[in-house]
């Protein structure tokens, strides 16, 4: 130990690093939980096209935050903007789906498709705004985590893939994806 001052500076630096790692880890964990929850809730809308578009948009927001040349502040701003957009989009798509889903269903399957579309529209008006809020929260928490990790703390990495409900091809049934069987 060189001096009491150097000791105090070392303790302050270590405490700051610990606090940043804890905040970053909590942010990443909470973002993972809200992200998986929003993914699973989005499937309740019964709209595969919506689920695929939503995943594509989430990846684009995450990529733009990683590629931001403005540093941590730019990444946080991009993620916050993406989060606000997710909330507004969820509400808008939910309301629009009440009108559009019956039309799409009728075009594909006639009268039976119309009634399926009505059911999807009603489910979507309840589910899509909730998914938008969850996606927005997840984006903000991702921003907190990436902002902290941009300060020199390595981001937390998941130990296992998230468990997600995935639609089976050409079916309305869902299956748990990402699980590993018991040995």
> Domain for residue 182, yes or no?
no
Rounded distance, CA 128 to CA 42, Å?
A: 7
CA angle 105, 110, 115 (to 5 degrees): 55
- Number of separate domains in the chain: 1
State phi, psi for 11 to the nearest 5 degrees. -65, -40
**Is residue 72, in this structure, part of any structural domain at all?**
yes
Assess contact for 51 and 120: CB atoms under 8 A: no
Quote the domain boundaries for residue 42.
4-148
Evaluate if pTM is beyond 0.75.
Answer: no
Q: Assess if residue 165 is contained within a domain.
A: no
Residue 176 placed within a domain: no
The per-residue pLDDT string of the chain (183 residues; one tens digit each, 9 = 90 and over) reads 578 888 888 888 888 778 777 777 787 788 888 888 888 888 888 778 888 888 888 777 667 666 654 555 555 666 667 777 878 888 888 888 889 989 988 999 899 989 988 988 888 888 888 888 888 888 777 777 766 665 555 555 666 777 777 777 877 777 777 755 444
CA distance readout (Å), 103 to 50, 59, 116, 119, 121? 15, 29, 10, 12, 10
């Amino acid at each position: 130990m060189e001096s009491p001052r150097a000791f105090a500076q070392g303790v302050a630096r270590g405490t700051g690093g610990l606090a940043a790692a804890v905040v970053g880890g909590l942010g990443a964990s909470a973002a993972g939980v809200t992200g998986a929850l929003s993914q699973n809730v989005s499937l309740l809308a019964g709209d595969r096209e919506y689920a695929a578009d939503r995943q594509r948009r989430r990846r684009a927001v995450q990529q733009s935050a990683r590629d931001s040349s403005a540093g941590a502040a730019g990444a946080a701003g991009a993620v916050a903007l993406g989060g606000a957009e997710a909330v507004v989009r969820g509400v808008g798509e939910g309301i629009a789906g009440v009108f559009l889903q019956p039309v799409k269903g009728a075009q594909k399957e006639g009268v039976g498709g119309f009634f399926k579309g009505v059911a999807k529209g009603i489910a979507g008006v309840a589910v899509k705004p909730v998914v938008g809020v969850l996606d927005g929260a997840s984006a903000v928490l991702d921003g907190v985590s990436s902002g902290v990790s941009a300060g020199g703390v390595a981001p937390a990495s998941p130990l296992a893939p998230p468990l997600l409900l995935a639609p089976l091809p050409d079916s309305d049934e869902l299956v748990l994806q990402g699980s590993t069987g018991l040995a």
